Amino acid sequence: MIKLLEGPQTLGRGPVFWSCFLAVLAGALIYPLFADSYDVGNFSYFLIWIFMALGLCLMWGYGGMLSFGQTLFFGIAGYAYGVLAINMGGGTTTIAALLLSVVIAMIAAGILGYFMIWGGINGIFFGIVTLSATLVLAFFLGQTAGPEWHIGDARLNGFNGMKGMDPLAIGSVYIEGSALYYVMVALIVIVYLALRMLVNSGIGNVIVATRENPQRAEMLGYDVRKYQLLTFVLGSGLAGLSGALYTSWGQFITPSSIGLPAAAMPIVWVAFSGRSDLTATLVGSFLLLFGFQTITVYSQQAALVLMGALLLATVMAAPQGFVLGIGKFVADRLTGRGKRGEADLSAASTLKTDEA
């Protein structure tokens, strides 16, 4: 198992890489001791979105399935957390609400994925169908302002969104501030390492094989539909985890966290970072979220325009992703293989959105 942490599907191996990993982790762990609680809370907020980015990286970068549906499952789990937390009461049941809402998102992904994949939808149409489903949910939730739209005690509240659910708690103690931060860091470490093991395992081999050439993968005896469905359910489930954490963090969720601008965000993060590598996605998404938040403080419009510009720049200048490119470059310098690195970068081909 441990051996799978390194492998052909993930960049970063050997003592240098893992030392860096531990150093960053140590930095993350002592950070709350030095920062004020407002900044720690903000930090937790950036970390919420990382799961969604990693899930898209798995689906798009590894599986070749460009899903526009990350905010769909983010929204399903986000609203599910609200409904469950409100109806089940607060306290420790919020933990169950969190887990259940992720399961609900995965079931929804299983159903949608089943019809898409068994129906033979792939390439650009996969993006179109997932985007449509996302917009339908956002539109629907926007129409639910009336008092008749409620599930148990939870009012959906249209555009204003659902509120009044408890945050995550154990007994009567809310998990917030530094405690929440540590929970986030732990979850990210677990998810990141588990995904590394997954993609370097035999299953990961089939996932990338399916991306490269689904017909050949099938000709080796693999039912590629099952692997695609697994990838889609896991990737969407991670978006669900982001959604449930988001609702619990802010104690509200609105349809605007599902709709078009929100739906495009994960694509930008992952494309910019380098969709073909988990580590690049992790680091890149964090940097972007951090930068985005910093700029949003001054102007939200400017932040959105910047995101668009970054996506364009990525497509034109570094189709395999900026963070990935820089990471490879640095790694090659360190190991004295500079020549090869440059060859790798220039060999990187165009942005492959429809290779499945």
Partner 1 sequence: MSLVEVKGVSKRFGGLRAVSEVDLSVKAGEVHCLIGPNGAGKSTLFKLIVGLFPPTSGSILFDSVDITAERPFARVQRGMSIKMQAPSVFKELPVLQNIQIALQERTSGAERAREQERLLELLGLAQDRTKMAGALSHGQQQWLEIGMALALQPQLLLLDEPTAGMSPEETFKTGELIKSFNAEGMTVLVVEHDMAFVRQIAQRVTVLHLGKIFARGSLDEILQDEQVAEIYLGKTHAH
Chain residues that interact with partner 1, rule: CB under 8 A: 8, 202, 205-206, 208-209, 212-213, 215-224
- Compare residues 172 and 215 and give the one whose CB is closer to partner 1: 215
Helices and strands of the chain, counted as H and E runs: 14, 6
Minimal CA–CA distance to 166: which of 225, 82, 52, 68? 82
How many angstroms separate the CA atoms of 272 and 318, rounded? 8
User: Do 119 and 194 touch, CB atoms closer than 8 A?
Assistant: no
In total, the chain counts a number of residues equal to: 356
Q: How far is the CB of 344 from partner 1 (least distance, A)?
A: 10
Q: How far is the CB of 17 from partner 1 (least distance, A)?
A: 19
- Compare residues 153 and 223 and give the one whose CB is closer to partner 1: 223
Backbone angles phi, psi at 336, to 5 degrees: 65, 30
User: Do 134 and 255 touch, CB atoms closer than 8 A?
Assistant: no
How many angstroms separate the CA atoms of 55 and 237, rounded? 8
Angle at 239 between CA 238 and CA 242, to 5 degrees: 90
Q: How far is the CB of 199 from partner 1 (least distance, A)?
A: 12
Q: How far is the CB of 8 from partner 1 (least distance, A)?
A: 5
How many angstroms separate the CA atoms of 54 and 11, rounded? 15
- Compare residues 52 and 356 and give the one whose CB is closer to partner 1: 356
Q: How far is the CB of 314 from partner 1 (least distance, A)?
A: 19
User: Do 85 and 94 touch, CB atoms closer than 8 A?
Assistant: yes
- Compare residues 333 and 340 and give the one whose CB is closer to partner 1: 340
What is the maximal distance between C-alpha atoms in the chain?
A: 66
Q: How far is the CB of 302 from partner 1 (least distance, A)?
A: 37
Q: How far is the CB of 320 from partner 1 (least distance, A)?
A: 11
- Compare residues 66 and 77 and give the one whose CB is closer to partner 1: 66
Q: Which amino acid is at 17?
A: F
The alpha carbons of the chain give a radius of gyration, in whole angstroms, of 20
How many angstroms separate the CA atoms of 100 and 96, rounded? 6
- Compare residues 127 and 214 and give the one whose CB is closer to partner 1: 214
- Compare residues 39 and 223 and give the one whose CB is closer to partner 1: 223
